[in-house]
Structures are given as C-alpha cells and as structure tokens.
Amino acid sequence: MATDFADPFDALFNLQRAVDSRIASDWLQDQTAAQGPFPPINVFQQGEDILAIIELPGVDKNDLQIQAKENTIRISGKKGAKLPEDVSIHRRERVFGEFDRTLSLPVQIDPDGIKAEYRDGILALFLPRAERDKPRTIKING
C-alpha cells in the first residue's frame, strides 16, 4: 500500500504519479466540492499519522492562523499584496487576498499533538491520529 520512494532517481516521478492518482479522490469528501479552494492542500499518511502539506508562498507567518477542534482544522489568513506605488505592471499572475478554509478529516486526531511548520512557502501540518482511533489488532482465541 505504501508508496516507496527509496530510489532517488525514480522518487520524484513516483511521487508525481501517486499524487496524480490521488487528485480528486474522495478522502476529504464534500469538503472540497468547490473547485480550486485556496490554499491547495495535499494530504499524506505518515505511519499512523496524517501530514497535510499546503502551498502558501509569500505569506507572513503572523498573518496565518491555524485552529483545531476535534477532527476539524481551520486555516485562515491573508496574503498581502506588496506592490510598490507608481509602477507599471507588466504581468500579474500571483493572487492576493484573504483565505479561510476548514478541513474535516475522516479520522480522529489529537488536537494537542498538532504541529505546524511554515518554511519556504510551504505550511506543513502534522496531525497525529488519536490513540482511541488507531486500529487494534485482535487476537483470535481458540
């Protein structure tokens, strides 16, 4: 089940293929019914825990809020435009504005164990699965 990225040469290709096959999967169900909500999110499984990797280039860490409640994560903030005055604009492809997105995960997470890291324009949310939600191996007696 787990995709193995051990070979560095094929690693990126395998990741891209795996990501492609997961695009528009129903893991977050109706949470993402709207097309193209911002910011875009990739969700990975890391052992028993969940890792959400969010692309948010050019956001000030102080303008970013993350709230967690039970199995819901809310990511909100603003991406401010810092174009100087009195310039002529040749190309404008980047988007700016406020965003507010809530994810409901289909697994229970431990809200106290959530860790967030923002580096190089990527927000990584480490979401530990709640102990009570983890699958248990049942011994068969007899």
Partner 1 sequence: MASTQDLQAQKKREVESKEEATIPARVFLPNADIYETPTELNVVLEMPGIEKSKVDIRVENDVLHVEGRIDLSKYTGLHPLYAEYNVGHYARSFQLSSKIDQNKIAAEMNEGVLSLTLPKIEEAKPRTIQIR
Q: Name the one range near partner 1 by CB under 8 A: 23-31, 66-74, 108-116, 126-134.
A: 23-31
Whole-angstrom CA distances from 35 to 24, 65, 100 are 10, 23, 15
Quick check: 114 and 128 in contact, CB under 8 A? yes
Site string for partner 1, 95-124 (x = CB under 8 A): xxxxx------------------x-xxx--
Q: CB 142 → partner 1: shortest distance, Å? A: 34
Specify the stretch interacting with partner 1 by CB under 8 A; choose among 54-62, 67-75, 125-133, 134-142.
Answer: 54-62
Q: Is the previous residue joined to 39 through a cis bond, with omega within 30 degrees of 0?
A: yes
- Residues touching partner 1, count (CB under 8 A): 67
- Which among 43, 32, 42 has a CA at the least distance from the CA of 101? 32
Rounded Cα distance between 92 and 26, Å, is: 33
- Tell me if 133 contacts partner 1 by CB under 8 A: no
Q: Which helix (H) or strand (E) holds 126?
A: strand 122-127
The residue ranges that bind partner 1 (CB under 8 A) are 1-3, 5, 8-13, 15-16, 18-23, 25, 27-28, 32, 35-47, 50-51, 55-60, 78-81, 83-84, 86-99, 118, 120-122
